[in-house]
Chain A
């Protein structure tokens, strides 16, 4: 089972390496959207610092949503997905490996670039640390839930808008716990609760999302 996981992970990373531009689009989207906010709401540093965490989180949600639709698309197009469904190995493990690869390619770069955006929004170093830490724990949850949506909408017309309608309501708790951490810290409150709840969300989606995605893929390829 572990070898299947490693093989799929390696395969997806290798494929992404061969088509590097695809990986960078989500990151570019994240950078661009966050840069648009100061233009929209004005450049006052206090105001920007106030909205920074929320803006970065919402941009991360949208970046995930945009790129996650491609998670199973190329595999479906070239028939790999069918082979995965026929495989004797558990489909949930294969899906989990794919989601891991996807997070490494889109979620992790987002976390790594976040300090730069925090700088633009004039956040203090501690606040930057908190935002990055919440993104680090929260973005895997986004990827996992996004995979369920991607599997459900595979090959459907209007997939992009549809997946937004399906998945965004499910993202609400993660958004609240993630973006709320900096506000709590500013108010002088303990942020342990936020991290614990984000961790809980991650564990629940880690347990449920691969199974649900696998079921959705079987429905889609019935």
Chain B
């Protein structure tokens, strides 16, 4: 039984490969560069397919008409805003445990994209709310907790921006990201509880129970496109962060002199 373990630890063709091989910016930089274009292309292709399904294949909703079609952007954005926060907290925990600089860089590279998704979800939600509920905003549990999630992203980014020392910025940001991740479910349930008490909006946000399969497919494809975009954007940003932070090292100097021959 020890055979599979050793083969998993050492991949053929990569002598000395281990889990932390790509944990160093020097080795991760070219890898991120190679992954960049596939991510962008995948995102563009999936987005085109998803939008085609959303606009031309999916049937018109019986009650909401065509205005429901914003769901193909709204729901993936809302999903991603939550997934990205969890991913951020995950990288922060990894960084604090293994003391890897790259994990913190990943976390701070993800934050702006996550905030963007939260903002897109709020914005499209408002645009969707107007034709369906007759108002841009209701103090619904999901809307409110999405807004608070957006504030959590802002807090994380503001804290990192306020600290000049990258080491301190990483660790302080990690702490607030983890505290925030612990709080997100508590905030969600408290807001939900608050909402049931106040009965402010008697609008049921749960969509029609039997959703047409094509609608579901459109949403799924768009969600995958959002994933690909998020990974691509995070990799692009983490490359920039790596070069900025490691500008004193030899490998960045070589990279600059080589005229970017290494992708």
Contact = CB atoms under 8 A, between A and B. Distances in A.
A172 B172 contact: no
B149 to A, nearest CB: 8
A156 B148 CA distance: 24
In order of increasing CB-CB distance, the 4 nearest A-B pairs are A173-B190, A219-B171, A165-B155, A176-B194
A170 B183 CA distance: 7
Most A C-beta atoms less than 10 A away, residue of B176, B183, B191: B176
A166 B190 contact: no
Given A162-B162, A220-B168, 5 more contacts: A148-B179, A156-B163, A172-B148, A176-B193, A177-B193
A152 B159 contact: yes
Interface string B211-234: 000000000000000000000000
Interface string A157-175: 1100010011011101100
Nearest to A164: B155
Name A's interface SS: helix
Contacts of A177: 190, 193
A67 interface: no
B197 A184 contact: yes
Interface stretch (A1-9, A82-90, A208-216): A208-216
B245 interface: no
A144 to B, nearest CB: 11
26 contacts: A148-B179, A152-B175, A156-B162, A165-B151, A165-B154, A166-B155, A166-B158, A168-B151, A169-B152, A169-B180, A170-B180, A170-B183, A172-B148, A172-B187, A173-B183, A173-B187, A173-B190, A176-B190, A177-B190, A184-B197, A187-B197, A189-B197, A219-B168, A222-B167, A222-B168, A222-B171
A142 to B, nearest CB: 14
Contacts of A187: 197
Nearest to B149: A169
A50 B171 CA distance: 43
Interface in A172-222: 172-173, 176-177, 180, 183-184, 187, 189, 197, 201, 208, 212, 215-216, 219-220, 222
A165 B168 contact: no
Interface of A: 148, 152-153, 156-158, 162, 165-166, 168-170, 172-173, 176-177, 180, 183-184, 187, 189, 197, 201, 208, 212, 215-216, 219-220, 222
A157 B171 CA distance: 17
Nearest to A173: B190
B190 A172 contact: yes
B118 to A, nearest CB: 12
Interface residues on B, range: 20 to 34
Interface in B142-167: 148, 151-152, 154-155, 158-159, 162-163, 165, 167
Contacts of A201: 186
Contacts of A156: 162-163
B139 to A, nearest CB: 11
Nearest to A221: B168
A168 B176 CA distance: 12
Interface of B: 148, 151-152, 154-155, 158-159, 162-163, 165, 167-168, 171-172, 175-176, 179-180, 182-183, 186-187, 190-191, 193-194, 197-198
Contacts, number: 78
A220 B175 CA distance: 12
Contact of B162 (A158, A169, A215): A158
Contacts of B155: 162, 165-166, 169
Nearest to B156: A166
Given A172-B187, A177-B190, A184-B197, A153 B162 contact: yes
Contacts of A216: 172, 175
A142 B59 CA distance: 50
Given A169-B152, A219-B168, A176 B191 contact: yes
Contacts of A189: 197
Nearest to B174: A219
Contact of A152 (B172, B190, B194): B172
Contacts of A169: 148, 151-152, 155, 180, 183, 187
